Structure 1
Amino acid sequence: MQPKPEPDGVRLRDYERNATARLTKAGVDSPRLCAQLLAAHVLGLDRLHCILEAERELDPAAMDRLDALTARRATGEPLARILGRKEFFSRDFLVTPATLIPRPETELLVETALELLPAQTPLYFADLGAGSGCIGVTLALERPAWRGLLLEINAEALAVAQANARRLDAAQRLACLRADLRQAPLAACSCDLLVSNPPYIAECERPLVMDEVVRFEPHTALFSPDHGLAHLQAAVAQAARALKVGGLLLLEHGAGQGTAVRGLLAAATVFAHVATRRDLAGLERCTLAWKK
């Protein structure tokens, strides 16, 4: 008996092999994983089913879309931007060109808040410069007794934060407001927690930033004047006014800014127990202080 001829179309395993080679040549990190995730995205499958269905034949429309998305990744466009989502604290958050892509190191802000503040006690927090809303939405989901305000100056980014709050079922405990974190409309002594991942990269550091970050992420969410400290100083000033006595301030900052941020907090004269925590890479990443 003659063996059955193989289908003429491209199989999923063929796409994965060719895309992996293409992305490897382009210098993309984890090229095989990228190829699998792009396939999962286009085919509406999870990664495991893509592996299990390696012999699946791809129709021309799917191949055209996969080729287009692979080409985008090969030019350096971040995978999260192509997929339109990024995992943060084990949840998928929508991202767009108006928002930063959530980073694993930012989870340190959330972890620190959850560790230091009472879980069952109702409290009110503000997230200054909320972007996609990943910090504030996660706090609301992890602590059902907490309520929060997400402040974001970019209208398109604010819409993404609102969408994430709705789709993750946190909208009923969050308010979203378009506002500049440097002029945040927060009442005096109104917050138990103020958290912020503001712009903190100095303009002189632009050549040191990864090319795909500079090319594809919003510069207004990355760069800050005064050696990268202008927005951090504004957040400190907002916290000095808006936090209740005993309230907690959490700031993400650059790996080399810990000393400067501690100096800003000392100069404000209303904070005590200032400390800086390190991320998983051992870099100073999050500074906390309590209002005295």
Structure 2
Amino acid sequence: MKELLRWGIEELSEAEIPTAKLDAEVLLGAVLGLTRSQVLARSHTPMQRHQRGRFAALIQRRKRGEPVAYILGRQEFYGREFLVDRRVLIPRPETEELVDHCLNALEGRVTPRVADIGTGSGAIAITIAAERADAVVLASDVSSGALGVARENAQRYTSEGRIDFRQGSLLDPLAGATPLDLIVANLPYVGTSEIDILAADVRDYEPHEALFAGPEGLDLFPLLFEQLRDHALLKPDGALWLEMGYAQGAALARMARLYFPNAHKVAVHTDLAHHDRFVELNP
């Protein structure tokens, strides 16, 4: 096993994969049904021929740039393993922080009503539903493929019908809904002007409709704010939480104040890396 792992690391390093060692260890663990720490602890364990062949095939896929999460078909998020494929973005650690903010905002609210807009894999909606058993959760996405993945994930962690999945653009699926305590949206926010500087495994594999929103990545936010302003979708003390790009904080805060000049609160929050990452709006 030790020699094969060394080969895998060398192959990925030659392909300029920045996480070569980690990726090789994770992929070898997937072949053997071991955790990464178990792989390191059992480095002298012999491998069968079919295991060596499967590992080599996974290394070749990673060399071509395919993300490890897509190779394995899963990604951990908030302590749970979510199914992912090329129909959805791979959940990021920063979005776990967004969930933290949402759960904090729901503290003290009884049977809160929550909507997750642009749910993708369902990671946000399902996590909130799992962490708050009393929450009433709606999740929407414009992509039928993404909703298929989200429903599969919901079956793993929630009871049948626990989350109301709806297809549609932005806040359209909320038409006629009872006013909500919280709306959370992790919308596409990467600018098409950035496509050439994106990591290849993101640019070449993750769904562009879930990544890009115009040249600066801001095109969807005015539409969202307009819908929120024109329809009574939030309770009077309700809140909207958004994830955004690290350089978009000032622009999004100005935009929010333009649409909601009398807002009770417009705040930009940083992530653990101290980058602007979230906007909180209490209209």
Amino acid at match of 2:223: A
Counterpart among 192, 214, 222 of residue 203 in structure 2: 214
Displacement after TM superposition at 1:239 (Å): 3.2
Give the Cα–Cα distance (whole angstroms) in 2 for the partners of residues 170 and 108 of structure 1: 25
Q: Distance in 2 between matches of 1:226 and 1:49?
A: 45
Matches within 5 A, 1:136-155: 136-155=125-144
Deviations 1:24-47 (A, max 9, x none): 222222322211211111122222
Structure 2 unaligned runs (5+)? none
Compared CA separation, residues 198 and 156, structure 1 to 2 (3 A): same
- Alignment partner, residue 267 of structure 2: 275
1:60 alignment counterpart: 49
The answer to whether the 8 Å contact 1:133/1:165 transfers is: yes
Aligned counterparts of 2:184 and 2:160: Cα–Cα separation in 1: 18
| Root mean square deviation of aligned Cα | 1.8
**Residues 178-226 of structure 1, C-alpha deviation per residue, up to 9 Å, x if partnerless?**
1111533433662110000001122222222222211010000011126
Contact preservation (8 Å) 1:197, 1:251? yes
> Which deviations, in whole Å up to 9, do the C-alpha atoms of 1:74-119 show, x marking residues without a partner?
1221111111111111211111001001111112211111122225
Structure-1-length-normalised TM-score: 0.90
Q: 1:115 aligns with which of 104, 125, 129?
A: 104
Q: Is the 1:119–1:145 contact (alpha carbons within 8 Å) kept by the matching residues of 2?
A: no
SS of 2:57's partner is helix
**Number of equivalenced pairs:** 280
Identity %: 35
Q: Which residue of 1 aligns with 2:255?
A: 264
- The residue aligned with 1:72 is 61
Q: Distance between the aligned counterparts of 1:32 and 1:231, measured in 2?
A: 38
CA distance in 2, matches of 1:172, 1:179: 18
Within the alignment, does 1:36 sit opposite 2:36 as a pair?
no
Structure number with larger C-alpha Rg? 1
Aligned equivalents of 2:228 and 2:79: distance in 1?
29
CA distance, structure 2, for counterparts of residue 140 and residue 239 of structure 1: 23
SS at the partner of 1:149? strand
Q: Distance in 1 between matches of 2:272 and 2:87?
A: 27
Shift of 1:147: 1.4
Q: Retained in 2: the 8 A contact 1:119–1:143?
A: no
How far, CA to CA, are the matches of 1:213 and 1:56 in structure 2?
Answer: 34
Residues 134-213 of structure 1 aligned to structure 2 (within 5 Å)? 134-169=123-158, 171-181=160-170, 183-187=172-176, 190-213=179-202
The TM-score with structure 2 as length reference comes to 0.93
Q: Does structure 1 residue 23 correspond to structure 2 residue 12? A: yes
C-alpha separation between the residues in 1 aligned to 2:160 and 2:197?
Answer: 38
